[in-house]
Amino acid sequence: MSTAPFLDMRQVSYTFPGWPPVVQRVDWDIAPGEFHCLVGRSGCGKTTLLKLAAGLLRPDEGTVLLQGRPLPAPGPQIGFVFQQPTLLDWLSVRDNVLLPLSLQGKVRADDVARAEALLAQLGLGAHLQHRPRQLSGGQQSRVAIARALLPGPSILLMDEPFAALDAITREELQDALLAVCRERGTPVFFVTHDIAEAVYLADRVAVMDAGRIRHDVRVALPRPRVQDVRYSAAFNALCAELRHAMDGEGIV
Ligand SMILES: Nc1ncnc2c1ncn2[C@@H]1O[C@H](COP(=O)(O)OP(=O)(O)O)[C@@H](O)[C@H]1O
Ligand SMILES: [Mg+2]
């Protein structure tokens, strides 16, 4: 397998016209199949950086390469999951997952079968015909993950997708997400303000502050991650390191 970066951001800067810079000279690369998290306080520029990685915003300076090429127009290569599941309530769960394909007029019988298999893998096999309002918040998040994965994106970008969920549901979703992405080999760039969530999910965590990446932590915990790892000394040491970095300690 190639070790060239899959997503490669070099010296990326972005400013909303008339405002101070929001993202400043960020270097970040994601190797194939890796799971990276981005943590930082509210307003530090996380969502803006994710939109730059998605091609939803163009950098003022610097480059963003996906598999060695400049980012194409936003399309099926990039899956994006927002904090809110943003499901359409007049469509069934299955049709919500098929929506990105049906909008392009390309739903084939095997797409329907793949959507059903993905929903079954995410524990929603009994809810294919239900409407989103008949599901819990955690189940709705699972539908949003299935919808993002169905077109076969080469990378998944997620912006605090579990922030509105209770702690136990969030932990279940973390396991479900790790399992589906691992099976597909899909790399993920995941924004969260929850340090323990970042350590549990990630191979590498970036700490962002005032538009810059201030700290970079490798998470060498064994995979697949299991819930008990949360109680290990290594896990807690990483959480403490990240917490100190967010508080501005130990940074040169
Ligand atoms: N459309 C916009 N116009 C001007 N400023 C914006 C706009 N969107 C976001 N910002 C500002 O950019 C900064 C970073 O925002 P954002 O990337 O959403 O941060 P985060 O996701 O870390 O909370 C904030 O100060 C925010 O007010
Ligand atoms: Mg944000």
* Residue 225 belongs to a domain: yes
Residue 85, in any domain of the structure = yes
Q: 46 in ligand 1 pocket by Cβ < 6 Å? A: yes
Is 108 contained in some domain? yes
- Residue nearest ligand 1's atom 1 by CA: 16
Query: How many CB atoms sit inside 10 A of residue 169's CB?
Result: 16
Helix, strand, or coil (residue 163): coil
HSE value, Cβ hemisphere, 13 Å, CA-based, for 43:
1
**CA 196 to ligand 2 center in whole angstroms:** 18
Q: Is the C-beta atom of 47 inside 6 A of ligand 1?
A: yes
Specify the ligand 1 atom closest to the Cα of 191. Answer: 21
* Cis check: omega of the bond before 5, within 30 degrees of 0: no
Q: Is the CB of 43 under 6 A from ligand 1?
A: yes
Asked, for residue 252, whether it belongs to a domain, the answer is no
Point out the ligand nearest to the CA of residue 210: 1
Residue 3: predicted pLDDT: 63
Task: Please identify which residue in the block is written with the tokens 């049709």.
Answer: 95
| Residue 2 belongs to a domain | no
CA distance 206 to 246: 10
Ligand located closest to 42 CA: 1
Domain presence at residue 88 = yes
Q: What domain range is 53 assigned to?
A: 7-246
> Residues 227, 230, 234, CA angle at the centre, nearest 5°?
130
Q: In which element (H, E) is residue 15 found?
A: none
Output the CA–CA distances (angstroms, integers) from residue 188 to 68, 105, 154, 198, 204, in the order listed.
17, 27, 9, 12, 11
> pLDDT category, 252, cuts 50, 70, 90?
very low
Number of domains making up the chain: 1
SS3 call for 179 = helix
Residue nearest to atom 5 of ligand 1 (CA): 16
* CA–CA dist 163, 215 (Å, integer): 22
Strand runs labelled E in the chain:
7-14, 23-30, 35-40, 61-66, 69-70, 78-81, 155-159, 188-191, 204-209, 212-218
Closest listed ligand to the CA of 40: 1
Q: How far is the CA of 159 from the centre of ligand 2 (A)?
A: 7
Atom 25 of ligand 1 has which residue's CA nearest to it?
A: 43
Nearest CA to ligand 1 atom 2: 16
And the tokens for 26? 């960020």
Tell me the CA–centroid distance for residue 49 and ligand 1, in Å.
10
Residues 14-24: tens digit of each pLDDT: 999 999 999 99
Cβ(40) – ligand 1 distance below 6 Å: yes
> What confidence category does residue 104 fall into, taking pLDDT thresholds of 50, 70 and 90?
confident
For every residue of 45-68, DSSP letters joined together read SHHHHHHHHHTSS--SEEEEEETT
Torsions phi, psi of 205, nearest 5?
-125, 130
Domain of 36: which CATH number? 3.40.50.300
- The pTM (predicted TM-score) of the whole model is 0.95
Interatomic CA distance for residues 57 and 43, integer angstroms: 17
Structure tokens at 95: 């049709």
pLDDT at 249: 64
116-131: pLDDT as tens digits: 999 999 999 999 999 9
In a domain, 251, yes or no: no
Residue 1 included in any domain:
no
Give the atom of ligand 1 at the shortest distance from the alpha carbon of 160: 21
Write out pLDDT tens, residues 170-210: 999 999 999 999 999 999 999 999 999 999 999 999 999 99
Is residue 142 exposed (0-12), middle (13-18) or buried (19+ Cβ within 10 Å)? buried
